[in-house]
Structure 1
Amino acid sequence: MSPVVRSLEPTAAGLGLRRALLGPLQGAAPGDFDFLECAPDNWIGVGGRFGAALRELSARHPLVCHGLSLSLGSTDPLDDTYLARLRRFLDEHRVPVFSEHLSYCSDGGQLYDLLPIPFTEEAVFHVAGRIRQVQDALGRRIAVENISYYAAPFQAMAEIDFINAVLAEADCDLLLDVNNVFVNAINHRYDPHAFLRGLPGGRIAYFHIAGHYDEAEDLKVDTHGAPVKPDVFALLDEACSLFGPRPTLLERDFNFPPYAELVAELGQVRTVLQRHAPAGSRHVRA
């Protein structure tokens, strides 16, 4: 089994470990962030100064991992060699949570996109079986993320029912991306508040929150390249009200603002989380 890992407080607020941010993250003041998240696909086997920076950061801060390439919904065989390397990486860095997208990104080769799985009973059993294989290979439970999607290839059931069925059948956890709930609710005309209420709160490992692009009043694009919108912060507040605070990752993949602005935005995340923390656990940061 995996070695002892560091746990995350429910009110922990984290930033994505991106190479463009390595300098500021390494020089960060205590309390700027509580944890970091990286895509292991981009770091496994990396040496030199980048590998040294990763080891130094993961020694000082809890590191969670969010995968990009397992392609849980695909019919391609799972890559056993990659899974073995991934397990060693997670163990080496004492990763408390590993997550992947509830999607597929391969079909006889990499497609370089996260594509939606048809919402069917057959797909539930298929993807749940692959999640169980991954959990066995990694020696740990994993979390799957609700993705943003713009075309629905086939929907025999609602998105919320599909997600809940996969979680139950695979006996895995959920990475709840609050921005994806908001984007999908606008694009596919459903109620985001009802969606949140339908989730199994006990399975939520942590939250993602991110910015998106307003293409039109009825079309939102999940970009991770802009500040978080007020409506998404409001939905995070509602999620915390329903489920209690959970560790929350502020995603930013490009168009990086000055580091101080990221830290200030992370402060907004903390404000929401602390609002819902039990009274005895609330604290003020310097």
Structure 2
Amino acid sequence: MNNTPLLTGLGLRRSLMPELLDLTPGAVDFLECAPENWIGVGGAYGRGLAQLTERYALTCHGLSLSLGGSLPLNRNFMQQLRRFLDCHGVRHYSEHLSYCSDDGYLYDLLPIPFTEEAVHQVSARIRQAQDELQRRIAVENISYYAAPYQAMTELEFICAVLDEADCDLLLDVNNVFVNACNHRYDAQAFLRGLPVARVAGMHVAGHYQEAPDLLIDTHGAPVKGAVWSLFASACRRFGAVPSVVERDFNYPPLVELVAEIEHMRAIQREVALEQHLA
């Protein structure tokens, strides 16, 4: 297992693999992949993954457990997933705090109602997943544009799930920024309301501004300056935890993504220095 400290990472996408195989050592600390896209993959992609995991630590961010769904968790898939995580020495596994199935996969990450009943349901499913996978997992706060029902706030819902499920949080900073704009809340206050000990990692990504009061979480553009500022605030509160730059399409030359990694690293170092001198 690669024991490099995990601070700055990049999302592993097949379209980036040729350039990643030529990446300068040390440009990133780790790579993060969606295991569903790699389980059972052979051929050139399988060989490429094996080469990359020899050079870099690997973390995984899942897409299809459907933790907020109503159908039983897919135990066959979880067995495959556990073998993949063990085979590649994956140190951090996360999933979305959402649902994505209803008598079949919906190919989208849909919001869970913010209710006490939903807290109990999704928490039980997270605990089951942790038992099946034999590891602690983190759940990610998702972006959403309409909530099915809100008996509590997004922040209250997330905190209740983290407490009842006894799991960690993968804090998506861009999603906080997007949701704060779309649903009219204070992003800084949201960060202050999260339990420090639960935050096991962070994501940043680009978004699209559809209107002054409507942002779309696309992962298809550079990270905006305001999101970097919010990331710095998150680092001040939660410390330098494993953090990933995500890009899912409109891929620029890899040098531009590496520059975003360097910017992330610079923020982490600057915050650490601030706190050391304080």
Deviation digits for residues 198-245 of structure 1 (CA, Å, limit 9, x no counterpart): 001111111000000000110000000000001000000001111212
User: Which secondary structure state, in structure 2, belongs to the residue aligned with residue 238 of structure 1?
Assistant: helix
Aligned to 2:250: 255
Amino acid at match of 2:5: E
Aligned to 1:157: 152
Given the two structures, how large is their TM-score scaled by the length of structure 1?
Answer: 0.94
Aligned to 2:129: 134
Alignment of structure 1 residues 206-285 onto 2, 5 Å: 206-277=201-272
Q: Please, which of 27, 40, 45 is the counterpart of residue 50 of structure 1?
A: 45
| 5+ residue gaps, structure 2 | none
Alignment of structure 1 residues 81-96 onto 2, 5 Å: 81-96=76-91
Amino acid at match of 1:37: E
What is the distance in 2 between the residues matched to 1:121 and 1:6? 41
What is the distance in 2 between the residues matched to 1:226 and 1:55? 28
Matched, 1:115 2:110: yes
Shift of 1:277: 2.5
Shift of 1:276: 2.1
What is the distance in 2 between the residues matched to 1:210 and 1:115? 19
Aligned to 1:176: 171
Deviation digits for residues 145-186 of structure 1 (CA, Å, limit 9, x no counterpart): 000000111000000000000000000000000000000000
Alignment of structure 1 residues 7-26 onto 2, 5 Å: 9=5, 12-26=7-21
Matched, 1:28 2:39: no
Residue correspondences, number: 276
Distance 1:262 1:109, change over 3 A: same
Given the two structures, how large is their TM-score scaled by the length of structure 2?
Answer: 0.97
| 5+ residue gaps, structure 1 | 282-286
Q: Please, which of 34, 38, 55 is the counterpart of residue 39 of structure 1?
A: 34
Amino acid at match of 2:267: V
Structure with more contact order per residue of length (Cα contacts < 8 Å, sep ≥ 6) = 1
Shift of 1:46: 0.5
Shift of 1:280: 11
What is the distance in 2 between the residues matched to 1:55 and 1:279? 39
Aligned to 2:190: 195
